Amino acid sequence: MNTVEIKKGIYWVGAIDWNIRDFHGYKTPYGTTYNAYLVVDEKIALIDTVKRPFKDEFLARVKEIVDLDKIDYLVVNHVEMDHSGSFPIVAGMLPNATILATEEGREELQKHFGTTNDITVVDDGDSISLGSKTLQFIKTPMLHWPDSMMSYLVEDHVVFSSDAFGQHIASSERFNDEVDPSTLYHVAGDYYANILWLYSPLISRLIERVQSMGIEIDVIAPDHGVIWRDDPMQIVTWYAKWASGTASDRVVIAYDTMWNSTEKMAKAIAEGIQSEGVAVRLMRLRDTEKSYVITEMLESKGVLVGSPTLNNGMYPLVGGFLTYMKGLRPKKKKGAAFGSYGWGGGACAAIEEMLQDSGIDVVREPLELKWVPTNEELASCEEYGREFARSLKE
Ligand code: FEO
C-alpha cells in the first residue's frame, strides 16, 4: 500500500474510491478519496478514518507506518460516515488511543454508532502536544456538520481542513501540483457549489478569522481529493470568491420540454442573450444532472428556468431541480421563468415562486406562451433574452 509523506512525520493514509458516481444524490463523475492522516512524533495521532468499505485499505496504510497499539490519539474532525464509517472498528483496534472530538462530535458518534468509547471533548483553540509538534483544534461548525473542526499542526503549518477545501476526484496523485490546474478548479468549484454553497457566510467568516489569527499555512490537507502544498492559499482565494457571490456575465438556462415548444423558447432566448455578448449555457434537465447545473451556476450571474405546464404546474423534474437549488441558497443571482402551456398555465408562476424562495432576484416577468410559438413569438423570446442579458449589467 502506498503511503505518502506530506512533511517529515506527517503521512496520508486514506483510501481512493475510484468508482463512486453518486455521493448521497450528488454526482461524482471523477470518484473521490477519503483522506486520513497520521502524525508521528513522540506521540502518534491518527486524524480521521474512512468510509467503512475502505477500512482495510486504510488500516494497511497505517500499519505500514506504525503498529496500531502505538497510536496515542484518534482525532475525529468530522462524523459524517464517509470519514467515520470505520470509526467503531478502528477505535476498537487502538487500545492505547484517546479519542478526541468536539462536544457535537461526541454526541453524533454516540447517536450514529452507539459507541461506548470514552471520548475526550476538545473545544475551539484547545491543543495537545505530540512532543515536538502541537496539534491545535479550530471548531468549524456546519462546515460541514455541527461537529466539524479542523486540526492545525502548529510547527509544521499544516491544516487538516476536513471537508473544507476538498474536491471529489480520485487520482493516484496526492498533491495539487501533480494535477491539471483547470481540472482542479472545476472539481473544487463543483464540490463547493453542491456541498458548501449554502454555508458561504460561514466560509467568509472562517477565512476572515484565520487571517486575523495570523497563522502560517504551508499545506492544506482536506478530507477529499488532493492536498494543497503548492500555493495552498489559492484554494482559499477561490473559496473567498465563491463565498462572495462574484460571478461573470453568463446565463444558465435550465429547462425541460414536452413537445419542444419550451425548448424552442429556450433556444430563442439564448440567441437573444448571445446577441448582447453574454455567454449562455442551455441545460435540458432530462439529460443533465442537477448537480452539473448547480456547478455551472456558481460563476454565472443569471439563471433562467423553463418548463411546460403539466397539470397546472411545472414538470416534476424541474421542481426537483428547484428544490435542490433552493437548499443551496445561490447568492447574488438574477433570474426569471419561461415556458409554454396549452389550455391553462401555471408552470411559470410556480417556478417564479421557487426562484424567489431561493433568494434569486427575479428581474423579469415570466414569459409564458400558448401552444407552439409562432415566428413572431420566437422573436419576442429573443427580445426577452436581450433584455435579460442587459439586466445582468445593471
Ligand atoms: Fe466528507 Fe461531510 O463528509
DSSP, residue by residue, 113-130 = H---S-EEE--TT-EEE-
Write the DSSP symbol of residue 192.
I
pLDDT at 375: 98
Does the model's pTM come out above 0.75? yes
* Span 351-380, pLDDT tens digits: 999 999 999 999 999 999 999 999 999 999
What's the CA-to-centroid distance between 95 and ligand 1, angstroms? 26
What's the CA-to-centroid distance between 83 and ligand 1, angstroms? 7
* Span 95-133, pLDDT tens digits: 999 999 999 999 999 999 988 889 999 999 999 999 999
**Whole-angstrom Cα distance, residue 102 to residue 124?**
8
Return the active site residues: 24, 78, 80, 82, 144, 163, 191, 224
Question: Is residue 269 within 8 Å of residue 261, measured between CB atoms?
Answer: no
pLDDT at 199: 97
What is the average pLDDT across 296-325?
Answer: 98
pLDDT at 284: 98
**Whole-angstrom Cα distance, residue 190 to residue 194?**
6
Question: Is residue 169 within 8 Å of residue 187, measured between CB atoms?
Answer: yes
Q: Which protein residue's CA is at the shortest distance from atom 3 of ligand 1?
A: 80
* Span 45-95, pLDDT tens digits: 999 999 999 999 999 999 999 999 999 999 999 999 999 999 999 999 999
Which one, of 339, 337, 316, 349, lies nearest residue 257 by Cα? 339
Domain boundaries, the chain: 4-244, 250-392
**Taking the CA of residue 379 as centre, how many other CA atoms within 13 Å lie in the half-sphere pointing to its CB?**
3
Two domains, one topology: 4-244 and 250-392: no
Q: Which CATH code for domain 4-244?
A: 3.60.15.10
What is the average pLDDT across 150-165?
Answer: 98
What's the CA-to-centroid distance between 162 and ligand 1, angstroms? 8
pLDDT at 275: 98
- Atom of ligand 1 at shortest distance to CA of 34? 1
- 206 burial type by CB count under 10 A (0-12 exposed, 13-18 middle, 19+ buried): buried
- Atom of ligand 1 at shortest distance to CA of 224? 1
- Beta carbon of 223 within 6 Å of any ligand 1 atom: yes
* Span 330-339, pLDDT tens digits: 989 999 999 9
- Beta carbon of 78 within 6 Å of any ligand 1 atom: yes
CATH tag for 250-392 (out of 3.90.1300.10, 3.40.50.360, 3.90.1200.10, 3.90.950.10) = 3.40.50.360
pLDDT at 3: 82
Question: What are the grid coordinates assigned to 232, written together?
Answer: 495552498
What's the CA-to-centroid distance between 45 and ligand 1, angstroms? 20
- Beta carbon of 168 within 6 Å of any ligand 1 atom: no
**Whole-angstrom Cα distance, residue 147 to residue 99?**
14
pLDDT at 145: 95
Three-class SS of residue 18? coil
Which one, of 3, 1, 22, 325, lies nearest residue 168 by Cα? 22
- Atom of ligand 1 at shortest distance to CA of 166? 1
Average pLDDT, the chain: 97
Question: What are the grid coordinates assigned to 151, written together?
Answer: 486540526
- Beta carbon of 80 within 6 Å of any ligand 1 atom: yes
**Whole-angstrom Cα distance, residue 8 to residue 1?**
19
Question: Is residue 212 within 8 Å of residue 205, measured between CB atoms?
Answer: no
pLDDT at 12: 98
pLDDT at 361: 98
Question: What are the grid coordinates assigned to 339, written together?
Answer: 415556458
pLDDT at 129: 98
* Span 253-305, pLDDT tens digits: 999 999 999 999 999 999 999 999 999 999 999 999 999 999 999 999 999 99
Q: Which protein residue's CA is at the shortest distance from atom 1 of ligand 1?
A: 163
pLDDT at 394: 86
* Span 190-217, pLDDT tens digits: 999 999 999 999 999 999 998 898 899 9
Provide the sign of the torsion angle of the four alpha carbons 5, 227, 107, 134, taken in this order. Answer: positive
**Whole-angstrom Cα distance, residue 319 to residue 390?**
27
What's the CA-to-centroid distance between 81 and ligand 1, angstroms? 7
DSSP string, 255-316: E--SSSHHHHHHHHHHHHHHHTT-EEEEEETTTS-HHHHHHHHHTEEEEEEE---BTTB--H
What's the Rg (C-alpha) of the chain? 24
Question: What are the grid coordinates assigned to 222, written together?
Answer: 482536506
Q: Judge whether residue 25 has pLDDT over 90.
A: no
Which one, of 73, 65, 37, lies nearest residue 161 by Cα? 37
Three-class SS of residue 394? coil
Question: Is residue 166 within 8 Å of residue 203, measured between CB atoms?
Answer: no
- Beta carbon of 82 within 6 Å of any ligand 1 atom: yes
Provide the sign of the torsion angle of the four alpha carbons 175, 191, 244, 276, taken in this order. Answer: positive
pLDDT at 336: 98
Question: What are the grid coordinates assigned to 370, written together?
Answer: 400558448
Q: Which helix (H) or strand (E) holds 250?
A: strand 248-255
pLDDT at 117: 84
pLDDT at 98: 98
